[in-house]
Amino acid sequence: MNGKQLVLVLATVLALGSLQVAATETSDNKTGEFVATRDWQVISEGQAIPKGLHVRINLQTGLKEAKLLDESERGTALQSQTEESDSEPMALDYKKDVAEAAQRHAKEYVELRKAYKEFQKNFRTDGELIVQLIGQYRNFSKKPLESELKTKLDALENLEFLLHQIDNALVFIDNGGLDDVLLPIVVNDTNTALRVSAMRVLGSLTSNNPKAQIKVFEKSFGSYLSQILMSSTSSAEISSALHAFGALLRKFPLAQTRVLSTSGTQALIRVLRSPDMELRSKGKVVTLISDLVLEKRSVLEGSKDTTDAASSFAQYVLIEFESWLETQGYCTALDDVLAKDFLHLLDQPELVEQFSTAIWTTQSMCHVVWSQSSALRHALLTIRNRYANSKDEYRLEVSQALDNICKRLYDKPKHTELAHNKRKPHHKFH
């Protein structure tokens, strides 16, 4: 029974009180006169009651009761003598139906209260559920058992949902979740499905949560994720690792400096170069690279008037991400991806947008390589022309972005005017 039904029950109870008084005008007094007091008394079946009483149905027992009105209730009671004198007597069959309905609703209300009490007994807050799931993981056997796999995956799925909330994530960390649940799976577990789920939990935990990012960084998850990106051949594992990797690094300059200056950048380029990785994973790589490059630029170009801004500026200055990208061969790696796989991109405008954004963001450091690549030029122009002839608005927008890139990379400045000006002094000498 919902809130509206409960209101209906109470309204029916009040209406029944009024109807019972009206019934006294036409019904016989079968059990003697009802003597009202200031206490609630049960009204016997068919018993007539005087006018002006406070009448109700007891929701616990379902029985009709009546008592004298208190002084505070006079003038506000539903069954006043004036109202009764103006109303028509109600049919006995109808009054019986109303009474039965009210009793039925009263019984439902009692059952609802029992169900609610049972719900309260079993209710758990998010924090209690998280602690319970961590305890469940501690009780699993140290050696991997196939019979426990589904229970473990279900627990990780619940954690992924719960830990999106910042407070829940901190409860998980404070209760040993990183050490007892995620680290053992990410570092040592041989089951790919468990590692994939654990890294999704890690991404949920750290996304837009600075306190959680610090704790995860202190547990060296950046290095572990880099190793997975370097060694895994599973697309699902690479995808979840990239999600967790990006959640850890974004808006966290210290982690960017420590992780990307060592194995982190190499791991990203490895995924970009791998012929076995699907294009969606490579799209995630270039999106993360583009985001981190733009993040640094935004901070360095922003105001440094406040103390926090000055502190951030000092941290981002130390990040030499573009230099690390060049050292690891980012420019040629992205060139190779588009030159070899552009035909697979013709029907994937979302991926094309990811690659075009990355090219536009990083073209200043790769301009020399990309402007001299005929294969990249062919790929970009082919996709641009295909989308330019589409009726789809999104493809047309992507086509325009590619056109801007091609103009930036391949349109050479015209030197006609410059050459003409240079020739003028020569003619004067003649």
CB 231 within 8 A of CB 237: no
CB 65 within 8 A of CB 44: no
The pLDDT-based confidence of 85 (bands split at 50, 70, 90) is very low
The pLDDT-based confidence of 98 (bands split at 50, 70, 90) is low
Q: What average pLDDT score do residues 165-185 get?
A: 96
Instruction: Provide the 8-state DSSP code for 90.
Output: P
Q: What average pLDDT score do residues 383-389 get?
A: 96
Position 134 pLDDT exceeds 70: yes
Position 378 pLDDT exceeds 80: yes
Q: What average pLDDT score do residues 356-364 get?
A: 97
DSSP calls for 66-118: EEEPPGGGTTT-S--HHHHHHSPPPPHHHHHHHHHHHHHHHHHHHHHHHHHHH
CA dihedral 139, 144, 146, 150 (to 10 degrees): 50
Angle, CA of 394, 399 and 400, to the nearest 5°: 100
Helix (H, G, I), strand (E, B), or coil: what is residue 72?
Answer: helix
Single-letter residue type at 175: N
The pLDDT-based confidence of 349 (bands split at 50, 70, 90) is very high
Cα 264–chain centre separation:
27
CB 244 within 8 A of CB 203: yes
The pair phi, psi for residue 131, each rounded to 5°, is -60, -40
CB 144 within 8 A of CB 191: yes
Q: What is the pLDDT of residue 141?
A: 77
Greater confidence (429 vs 79) lies with 79
The pLDDT-based confidence of 53 (bands split at 50, 70, 90) is confident
Average pLDDT, whole number, for the chain?
Answer: 84
Q: What average pLDDT score do residues 65-93 get?
A: 57
Residue 303 makes CB contacts below 8 A (sequence gap 6+) with 309
Write the CA distances from 13 to 20, 29, 69, 309, integer angstroms. Answer: 11, 22, 17, 65
Helix (H, G, I), strand (E, B), or coil: what is residue 235?
Answer: helix
Q: What average pLDDT score do residues 135-161 get?
A: 90
Q: What average pLDDT score do residues 229-251 get?
A: 97
Q: What percent of the chain stands above pLDDT 70? A: 79
Q: Where are the domains of the chain?
A: 3-122, 329-430
CB 346 within 8 A of CB 386: yes
Single-letter residue type at 50: P
Position 206 pLDDT exceeds 50: yes
Q: What average pLDDT score do residues 84-104 get?
A: 59
Q: What is the pLDDT of residue 157?
A: 96
Long-range contacts made by residues 278-281, C-beta under 8 angstroms, separation at least 24? Answer: 278/235, 279/337, 279/341, 279/344, 279/345, 279/348, 279/351, 280/235, 280/239, 280/351, 281/235, 281/238, 281/239, 281/242
| Distance from C-alpha of 113 to C-alpha of 91, rounded to nearest angstrom | 33
Tokens 């994973």, residue located: 281
Return the minimum-mean-pLDDT range out of 96-105, 234-243, 245-254, 311-320.
96-105
Element (H, E) at 406: helix 393-410
The pLDDT-based confidence of 112 (bands split at 50, 70, 90) is confident
- Tens digit of each residue's pLDDT (9 = 90 or more) over 11-28: 444 444 444 444 444 444
Q: What is the pLDDT of residue 74?
A: 56
Position 229 pLDDT exceeds 80: yes
Position 144 pLDDT exceeds 90: no
| Distance from C-alpha of 349 to C-alpha of 340, rounded to nearest angstrom | 17
The pLDDT-based confidence of 70 (bands split at 50, 70, 90) is confident
Position 425 pLDDT exceeds 60: no
Q: Which of 352, 296, 351, 353 is nearest to 325 (CA)?
A: 296
Q: Which of 2-6, 34-38, 200-204 has the highest mean pLDDT?
A: 200-204
Q: What average pLDDT score do residues 183-206 get?
A: 96
Helix (H, G, I), strand (E, B), or coil: what is residue 80?
Answer: coil
Greater confidence (25 vs 39) lies with 39
Question: Quick one: angle between helices 126-138 and 149-162, nearest 10?
Answer: 150
| Distance from C-alpha of 239 to C-alpha of 226, rounded to nearest angstrom | 12
Write the CA distances from 333 to 40, 85, 226, 269, 282, integer angstroms. Answer: 87, 93, 18, 7, 11
Position 61 pLDDT exceeds 80: no
- Tens digit of each residue's pLDDT (9 = 90 or more) over 301-319: 987 778 888 889 999 999 9
